[in-house]
């Protein structure tokens, strides 16, 4: 089965050999990348999406990423369908491991007596890491899946009298079909 793999909406590749230790860096998406992220996450607006981060090389050729996202996100309220703005503060921590170490971890994961990390590391592929997917995935998982304005509530109506002494609504229509 040959499935095409979609490119991530944001990609920022970094050679491991070019990592600057203890230097705070920043990623900001281009307008086109921002528009794609807004569309993929079904947002009304996304402002101030910038990822500040630091990279640290660790033992075994691994890389530790620490950073923070603080975008202003506008979603649609699931009750009122009005725009709902919020500022999301997302701490980000991720590890990148050489591919052979991830393959070994995958083999160990099948052994019931072995403990594996809850957060699976990302791969270092040919000496390169991609920080863009980490930014996108961190934002996506931090969003409220059912944003609701404060005080908004959904009032379900089973159906009211239609003025002719009959209830309305889908269940009332089914009942009338059954009774006829």
Measured distance CA(62)–CA(145) in Å, rounded: 33
For 81, the 3-state DSSP assignment is: coil
Contact 12, 27 (CB under 8 A): yes
Mean of the per-residue pLDDT values for the chain?
88
Q: What is the pLDDT of residue 1?
A: 46
Highest mean pLDDT out of 2-11, 91-100, 163-172: 91-100
Q: Is the pLDDT of residue 160 over 70?
A: no
Question: What residues have CB less than 8 Å from 136, skipping those under 6 apart?
Answer: 8, 9, 10, 37
Residue with tokens 């409220």: 144
For residues 96 and 66, what is the distance between their CA atoms, to the nearest angstrom? 11
Quote the CA–CA distance of 10 and 125 in Å, as a whole number.
17
The strand pair at 122-124 and 90-98 is best described as parallel
Residue 164 φ then ψ, to 5°: -110, 20
**CA-to-CA separations, 48 to 70, 88, 169, in angstroms, rounded:** 7, 10, 45
């Amino acid at each position: 089965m040959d499935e095409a793999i979609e490119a991530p909406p944001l990609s920022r590749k970094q050679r491991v050999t070019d990592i600057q230790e203890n230097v705070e860096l920043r990623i900001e998406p281009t307008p086109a990348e921002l528009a794609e992220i807004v569309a993929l996450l079904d947002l009304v607006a996304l402002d101030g999406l910038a990822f500040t981060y630091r990279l640290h090389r660790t033992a075994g050729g691994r890389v530790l990423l620490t950073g923070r996202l603080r975008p202003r996100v506008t979603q649609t309220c699931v009750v009122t369908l009005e725009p709902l703005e919020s500022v999301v503060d997302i701490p980000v921590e991720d590890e990148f491991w050489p591919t052979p170490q991830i393959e070994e971890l995958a083999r160990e994961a099948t052994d019931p007596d072995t403990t594996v990390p809850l957060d699976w590391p990302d791969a270092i592929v040919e000496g390169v890491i991609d920080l863009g997917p980490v930014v996108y995935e961190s934002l996506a998982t931090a969003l409220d899946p059912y944003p609701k304005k404060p005080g908004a509530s959904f009032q379900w109506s089973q159906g009211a009298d239609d003025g002719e002494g009959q209830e309305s609504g889908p269940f009332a229509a089914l009942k009338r079909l059954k009774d006829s």
